[in-house]
A and B are shown apart, each in its own frame.
Chain A
Amino acid sequence: MVTDSSITAASPTTTHLMTINMGPQHPSTHGVLRLLLELDGEVIVKAEPHIGFLHRGVEKLAEYRTYHQCIPLTDRLDYVAPFSNNLAYAIAVEKLLGIEIPERAQHIRVILCELTRISSHLLWLATHALDIGAMSVFFYCFREREAISDIFEMVSGARMNLSYIRVGGVSRDLPGGFLEKTRTFVMEFPSRLNEYETLLTTNPIWKKRTVDVGIISAEDAVDYGLSGPSLRGSGVNWDIRKAEPYSGYDKYHFTVPLGKNGDVYDRYCVRIEEMRQSNSIVHQALNILPTGDFIAQMPGVALPPKEDVETKMEAMIHHFKLVLDGIRPPKGEVYASVEAPKGELGFYIVSDGSGRPYRLKIRPPSFVNLEALPKMVEGRLLPDVVATIGSLDIVLGEIDR
């Protein structure tokens, strides 16, 4: 090879920064995210997310709906994990009302929310791997996700926007055959997860694309408000299920996986291990699932059983009042948050004592996690942006609301 030093010496290179537009229609921005990237060659100088393309005004709509009618709105936030959204909202309203819900309902919620976590992480793994070029993982993940969707369909009648959780419990009891089907899934899933790991975890191509990419330190992660696996990938041990247990999470044995470097690979490892832990929680919950009510028997909060409505005057009045007026919590305000698959999903509800929320603020984990993206990718190469977006596991439905 001939090297001609005279060329570089004679012509001083001028640098032109190039601005490119990534999204909102781009396969690896996971929805309608638009990134404005300023590039020096292939190096990112500045990254600026533009969001809002999916803004539907959920918070505004909620102010015009009864507490019951808000549940379907929450499904459409993080639409790959609807149970977690339902749960966070229900817990906030229950806190506002100051009520306890039956043991059985709590267990059902935990089972379904952990299955949701697995389902959400599977979708993340499928698309994240696809973005980086590992296509077969996508098909395997969707095979398992299909099994979970079938379970959800059994329970709620829907596969995506489930609206199954109610204030005070869940909308109906678990159907026959649910336990067997879920047990089968739980027994099979760990071996499937091991299969995915053989495809990726020690794969040199995978590691080249993920190790030391999109690094964020623990201090920065906290400062930027990261939560969920994206925060724990940097080694910060904060999981709301452990720190502020809700729905009886203190009864279950599970560990909180942590990363060290805060890179894409660590976030990958954290989520993979989280799926194992979730699977174990589902297993434990199935074994101790108590009998009893699936929704609190509280007139003014939950609808009375249908047979009572048809035969008892009092139940009919309660039904009538609840449908027309809705739940009327006392004047006050609460903030309740749960550990959703993406991080801290919080609902801040201000009640003025009427049947509709005076203000409902959603604290979506993806919104806050995305804010840290420029910090992670600036100074890195363009392909790293794709890997980093994938590792943040964002859903634009809850970012834009």
Chain B
Amino acid sequence: MDNEAITAAIKNEFSEAILSTGVFRNELTCYLKKEDIAKVAAFLKENKELDFDYLSDLCGVDRIETDGYFEVVYHLYSITRNHRIRLKVLVPSNEPCVPTVTNIWKTANWHERETYDMFGIKFDGHPDLRKILTPEDFDGHPLRKGYPLDGRQPSTLKDVYRKD
């Protein structure tokens, strides 16, 4: 299915959940209301015409400085139909919570853990929402724009060897 047909199929089913759609470099992006993400995702997977059986990627984008929210971005692919779609939900920075999609694609588990670790976005209903890449005693969410590149953690080696 091409981008227009996919857009039409989703809009037909969820006219009120879709905020906007756009195509850039032949890639379809669909902005959703965050509370509807699980519903729309389940539909995209179950619908035989769309058949988005494969969650390629899930990640966060920090847009707090410019727009005041996080984005959670889902890259879906259909192995049987060979088409892709990008879903986006906007997450307010004061209450960063999104419904989980782990019950739709099992692979979302680690992706959501990583997004939680890197951005502090919580996924409601996730079975095991823990940090995944940073150590347990690590404080902060390193991929937020406000997090400094040099880090905030006490640098152990520096403390040990460079006391001046």
Interface size grouping (class) on chain A: 35 or more
Q: Could you tell me if B54 and A222 are in contact, using CB atoms closer than 8 angstroms?
A: yes
The total number of A-B Cβ pairs within 8 Å is: 86
The verdict on A51 contacting chain B, using a C-beta distance below 8 Å, is: yes
Contact A51–B133 (Cβ < 8 Å)? yes
Interface of A is mostly: mixed
Determine the interface band of chain B, counting residues with CB < 8 A from chain A. 20 to 34
Tell me whether A348 and B25 are in contact in the complex, defined as CB-CB below 8 angstroms, given that A59-B143, A223-B105, A359-B62 are known contacts. Answer: no
A225 touches B25 (CB 8 A): no
Q: Is the CB of B56 within 8 A of A57?
A: no
Indicate if the CB atoms of B79 and A400 lie closer than 8 Å: no
Q: Are A243 and B82 in contact (CB-based, < 8 A)? A: yes
Contacts of B24 in A (CB 8 A): 332-334
Say if the beta carbon of B142 comes within 8 Å of chain A: yes
- Residue pair B134, A52 in contact (C-beta under 8 Å): yes
B149 contacts A by Cβ under 8 Å: yes
Pick the interface stretch among B8-16, B92-100, B106-114, B154-162: B106-114
**Min C-beta distance of B146 to chain A, whole Å:** 12
> Is A344's beta carbon under 8 Å from chain B?
yes
How near does chain B come to A126, taking the closest CB pair, in angstroms? Answer: 28
Per-residue B-contact encoding for A63-96, CB less than 8 Å = 1, 0 else: 0100000000000000000000000000000011
Give, as a whole number of angstroms, the nearest-CB distance from B102 to chain A.
Answer: 11
How far in angstroms is the closest Cβ of chain B from A312? 33
Q: Does B86 contact A (CB under 8 A)?
A: yes
**How long is the Cα–Cα vector from A333 to B61 in the complex, in angstroms?**
11
> A61 contacts which chain B residues (CB < 8 A)?
149
Check B110–A64 contact: CB distance below 8 A: no
Interface pair A51/B132, CB less than 8 Å apart = yes
- Residues on A facing B (Cβ under 8 Å): 51-52, 55, 57, 59-61, 64, 95-96, 98, 220, 222-225, 236, 238, 243-244, 332-335, 337, 344, 346, 348, 350, 358-359, 361, 363, 367-368, 371, 400-401
